[in-house]
Amino acid sequence: MTSRVPAFKVRATARVADRAMHLALWLIALTFVAVLIGFVGGILKEGWSELNLGFLTRMPEALDAGGGIKPELFNSLYLVALSLALAMPIGLGAGIYMAEYAGQGRALRFFRLCVETLAATPSIVLALFGMILLVQMLGWSFSIRSGAVTLALLNIPVITRVTEESLRGVPRELLEASYGLGATKLQTILKVALPYAATGILTGVVLTAGRAFGESAILVFTAGTNVSQHFPDFRLSVPGETLSVHLWYVTSDGTLPDATQIAAGTAAVMILVLLALNLLVRLLDRAIRRRTR
Amino acid sequence: MAEPMPDLPETTLDAPLLPDGLARIATQGTPCPTPVFRQSHLHRLADRWTHLLFLACTLLVVLLIGGILYFLAARGAGAFFPLAGNTDKVVTFREVFLSTNWDPGDGHFGIVPFIAGTLAVTGLALLVAAPTGVLTGVFIAKVAPPWMRNVMRQVMDLLVGIPSVVYGIFGLTIILPMVGHAWLADAPAAGFAVSAAILAVMIVPTVVSLSTDAFESLPSSLDEGSQALGSTRWQAIWRVLIPAARPRLLTATVLGLGRAIGEAMAVQMVIGNNPQWMLLMRQATDQTPVLRFLFTPAATLTTELVQELPNTASGSTWNNVLFAMGLLLYLMTMLLILATRRLGRQEHA
Amino acid sequence: MLSPQTPETKPVKLSVRNLDFRYGEKKVLDGLSMDIHAERVTAIIGPSGCGKSTFLKCFNRIHEVSSAVQVSGQMAMDGVDIYRGGIDQVDLRRRVGMVFQKPNPFPKSIYENVAFGPRLFGVRDRATLDGLVEDALRKSALWDEVKDRLKESATGMSGGQQQRLCIARALAVNPEVLLMDEPCSALDPIATAKIEDLIGELKENLTIVIVTHNMQQAARVSDYTAFFWLGKLIEMDLTERIFTTPRERMTEDYITGRFG
Ligand SMILES: Nc1ncnc2c1ncn2[C@@H]1O[C@H](COP(=O)(O)OP(=O)(O)OP(=O)(O)O)[C@@H](O)[C@H]1O
Ligand SMILES: [Mg+2]
């Protein structure tokens, strides 16, 4: 009796489709590589002529050409530092709670939902919130402190999530070893879990710093579009335009004759800072991988 | 006795279990060698109470979610109801949510153009970003050689790290002039097409990284099983892997959409900021409505907020309607997050 | 080693009566009762999944830090119920040390691993710490191998050394009981022999409970052996008798490898 199963052959069309899709996938991927290169290259090329010490160390001009970005650079770093200083303890605390104390039930799911929602909230919405509560109701006006607090709202969910994830990645055996020696839960968290998770958390913090550094929508409405006339001005009550806000403001305001150059130079500076941060993240990542091997 | 347990009555135990023929002496502790360790009082107290501190941090996040909702709603409501602090007239929901006429100087506050603008630009961006993102995810997880995998991860990390204003300035100074010259003679290139293109690049890393995770978490038996049956690699991807990863791929897309809806600065810099774009579209009489649509200067919810909020007086109807738009954005993201929850449950079901 | 001819002279250190244990709905231990004598080595044997590790963890209540479990019955150390309200789990775990299946040193230096415990209890003085660390490392027969590289990372040691380091770490807080869950299953024969020798020395002033899948090991190191099957204690007796004249048919079958 002959088998009723026909002799199947992979159809030629299927083979062709397979080849074509393989090619298409490579093409799509390479397109993104090209987009990135074109992008970073384009920004750096446009801003190249501005990349000099004078540009970085001059005060900005209000109406004339030739302004620098000294206070904006300072404000960017200052605001990132302040917002991280605010967000770190809160994010760490919340992450620790969710990983170690919240259990596995409904409470944890609810907290996660909240953290995700805050993480997904558009920065313009956070900006509105900061503007109502801090700028207007508390009367802080457009200032470093309004900006720092609102910017912290952007950082908190990211740090919370990365803390929770890193703590969950701590091997159970290490925790058991610590408990087995008679350590309290707090001691175990502080002396075993957090040190182990530290590199992961740090990576998250650096990524957060990068995001905060590039953020503009929040700061336009909370830290304002002006800078103090003093330098360096550490006061929290003065307006604090950052690099990213400056970049946006000079292009949309259009009073500066050399707005395009200044924007291009600022963009180039920001790209360079972010490339450096990216490098840092990769080094941290490598450290993590070395340890787990 | 070594280290006495806290004062407790001796347990009454049944008689000791004796293997046959063994004599026993009474239950008694052995002397414990020095030194004896005890947790200090401070450690115990700290252990008992610090979790409240951690809980407070978590509750702060919860409170923030509610706080944002409350303050935006309070201000947004001022547009529709005569609340304290209102200095201006109120408008009806109809006049705001169903009208395409935005002319605040003249007392018209229809926000349909912005909602439509947001939908148009995010829809277009998603049209590009969702398929390419998912395919790049497949590529990274299942097709690319290891070195290319690393390159792609790097590329996505860098793309996601570029600030929106830098995307904006790139669009403004490089893309807009280019497109304007090549395709449209002298018409302005600002509008949905360029905004959506930039937005697509901005959200693609989100889609890629989540769909890569989705494909990587599939058991390798799935595509091995399929290919063992003689399917080509592409057939395995298309018929087995993508369907299996579907809920998570949708989640990736929804989260990408969330990012697109909320993006403000980059879009604001290239979209042209024309609240009357729908009117313009209607009056247009040229032969190519699609091209018109793609290259008409327009506006979205976020861009209009960036554009107009600084110029409006607090308490005015205009200002309140803008806050209502902010509230709308917030509710949209909440909805999207809830949608991802749904999808997550589907995946486990 | 204890034999049927010599009477037991050591007191009962740990006693268990009618112990039931559940993970949620699943009953893992069922009506266990036994006595464990001080300064003796008690081996627990039985097929995989019969609840040996679970039983061990009941002695220092370490399962309670991660999962929701239900324990009923009595478990006493020195005659005091360790599941009574008011019992301090932290203190209990200090007194009942544990060594795990896989060596699990902290990713710190050798010195810091051993000093970790004493530091928890507020020992800060360097000289005292040095003394404690040396003591513990000597007791675990590791001192000579590591005394010149105390500052090096513990994760760079061999598996057998790591496991002895874990024993040293446990000894450094001066426990009264040492629980060992298949301490040699990840080690080669030479390292295993070292740990077995060590167990013989340590029982001088410790109560040791060891879980093992290795019958020869149980026979070599233990005074008593308990055979578990599906969460029940089938038989417990002097090791010598379990391996020569067990009372239960099941025990004999298991030991001779006819099932398991
Ligand atoms: N955390 C847990 N949650 C639910 N069930 C568990 C958990 N840990 C163990 N069990 C179950 O309890 C039973 C006993 O597990 P246990 O680890 O004590 O067995 P064991 O005798 O040590 O096995 P092995 O020899 O393989 O180590 C097993 O059926 C296991 O599936
Ligand atoms: Mg076990």
Q: Decide: C57 in ligand 1 pocket, CB within 6 A.
A: no
Q: What is the dihedral of CA C167, C172, C174, C178, to 10 degrees?
A: -10
- Which residues in chain A have their CB less than 8 angstroms from residue B310's CB? 220-221
Q: How many domains does chain C have?
A: 1
Q: Select from C114, C142, C139 the least CA-distant residue to C129.
A: C114
CB contact under 8 A, C117 and A171: no
What is the crossing angle of helices A259-292 and B146-161, to 10°?
140
Domain that holds residue B323: 44-109+312-349
In a domain, C95, yes or no: yes
In this predicted model, what pLDDT tens digit does every residue of A244-268 receive, in sequence order?
A: 999 999 998 878 888 889 999 999 9
User: Based on the domain organization, do B69 and B214 belong to the same domain?
Assistant: no
- Measured from the CB, is residue C26 less than 6 Å from ligand 1? yes
Confidence of residue A286 (pLDDT cuts 50, 70, 90): confident
User: Does the CB atom of residue C50 touch ligand 1 within 6 A?
Assistant: yes
Mean pLDDT of B147-165: 93
Average pLDDT in the C198-203 region? Answer: 91
C147 within some domain: no
The more confidently predicted of residues B275 and B232 is B275
In a domain, C7, yes or no: no
Question: Does the pLDDT of residue B14 top 60, yes or no?
Answer: no
Rounded CA gap, B117 and B271, in Å? Answer: 10
Identity of the amino acid at B246: R
Cβ C23 under 6 angstroms from ligand 1? yes
Q: What angle do CA C143, C93, C217 make, to 5 degrees?
A: 55
Q: What is the largest CA-CA distance in chain B?
A: 110
Residue range B91-133, pLDDT digits in tens: 999 999 999 999 998 889 999 999 999 999 999 999 999 999 9
Q: Which of A49-63, B9-23, C164-178 has the highest mean pLDDT?
A: C164-178
Which DSSP state fits A255? -
pLDDT bin (cut points 50, 70, 90) of residue C8 is confident
| Residue B296 included in any domain | yes
Same domain, B153 and B227: yes
Instruction: Quote the pLDDT of residue B7.
Output: 35
What is the per-residue pLDDT for B189?
77
Provide the Cα torsion A287, B159, A246, A43; round to 10°: 110
* A69/A268 Cα distance (integer angstroms): 12
Q: Residues B266, B348: one domain?
A: no
pTM: 0.86
Phi, psi dihedral angles at A242 (to 5 degrees): -100, 175
- Joined tokens for residue C64: 């309670």
Atom of ligand 1 nearest to the CA of C231: 14
**Ligand 1 center from residue C51 Cα (angstroms):** 6
Report the residue from B37, B50, B166 with minimal CB separation from A270.
B166
C90 domain-assigned: yes
C108 in helix, strand or coil? coil
Which whole-number Å values give the CA distances from C64 to A191, B43, B50, B54, in the listed order? Answer: 20, 20, 19, 21
Residues B347 and B260 in one domain: no
CATH code for the domain of B301: 1.10.3720.10
Q: What residues does C80 pair with on adjacent strands?
A: C77
With b meaning 16 or more CB within 10 Å and e meaning fewer, what string describes C47-71?
eeebbbbbbbbbbbbbbebeeebeb
Q: Is residue C96 part of a domain?
A: yes
What pLDDT, in 10s, does the model give residues A154-163?
A: 999 999 999 9
pLDDT at C82 over 60: yes
Predicted pLDDT at B5: 36
Helix H or strand E segment including B160 = helix B146-161
Chain B segment 190-219 residues within 8 A of A by beta carbon are 201, 204
Band of pLDDT at residue C83, cut at 50, 70 and 90: confident
SS (H, E, C) C42-99: EEEECCCCCCHHHHHHHHHCHHHHCCCEEEEEEEEECCEECCCCCCCHHHHHHHEEEE
Please say if the pLDDT value at position B22 is more than 50.
no
Same domain, B100 and B169: no
Residue B188's pLDDT band (boundaries 50, 70, 90)? low
Residue B298 three-state SS: strand
Residues B64 and B158 in one domain: no
Residues of chain C with pLDDT > 70, as a percent, come to 98
Confidence band for B248, pLDDT divided at 50, 70 and 90:
very high
Q: What is the CATH number of the domain that holds C87?
A: 3.40.50.300
pLDDT in tens, B266-288: 999 999 899 999 888 887 766 67
CB contact under 8 A, A182 and C116: no
Q: Which residues of A touch C120 (CB under 8 A)?
A: 181-184, 187, 191
Q: Chain B partners of A217 at a C-beta cutoff of 8 Å?
A: 164, 264-265, 302, 306
The whole-angstrom separation of Cα A30 and Cα A23 is: 10
DSSP run (H or E) holding C210: strand C207-211
Q: How far apart are CA B322 and CA B336, in angstroms?
A: 21
Do B158 and B296 fall within a single domain?
yes
Spacing, Cα A199 to ligand 1 middle (Å): 32
The chain-wide mean pLDDT, for chain C, equals 89
**In terms of DSSP bridges, do strands C207-211 and C26-37 run parallel, antiparallel, or are they unpaired?**
unpaired
- What is the extent of the structural domain holding C31? 12-100+175-255
In the numeric block, which tokens belong to residue A102?
């919240």
Low-confidence winner among A54-58, A135-139, B70-74, B132-136 (lowest mean pLDDT): A54-58
Same domain, B191 and B280: yes
Beta bridge mates, C227: C45, C235
Residue whose Cα lies nearest atom 12 of ligand 1: it is C28
A174: distance to nearest CA of chain C, Å?
Answer: 6
Residue C126 lies inside a defined structural domain of this protein: no
Judge whether C194 lies within some domain.
Answer: yes
Question: pLDDT band at A293, cuts 50/70/90?
Answer: very low
Cβ atoms B95, B110 nearer than 8 A: yes
Chain centroid offset of residue A264 CA: 21
Q: Cβ separation of B64 and A153 shorter than 8 Å?
A: yes
A131-140, A167-176, A279-288, B201-210: which range is least confident on average?
A: A279-288
Judged against a pLDDT cut of 70, whether residue A122 lies above it is answered with yes
Tell me how many domains chain B contains: 2
C175 lines ligand 1 (CB under 6 A): no
Give pLDDT, residue B292: 80
List the one residue out of C72, C47, C80, C248 whose CA is nearest residue C176.
Answer: C80
Q: Is C145 part of any domain?
A: no
Q: Could you tell me if B226 and B292 lie in one domain?
A: yes
pLDDT at B127: 96
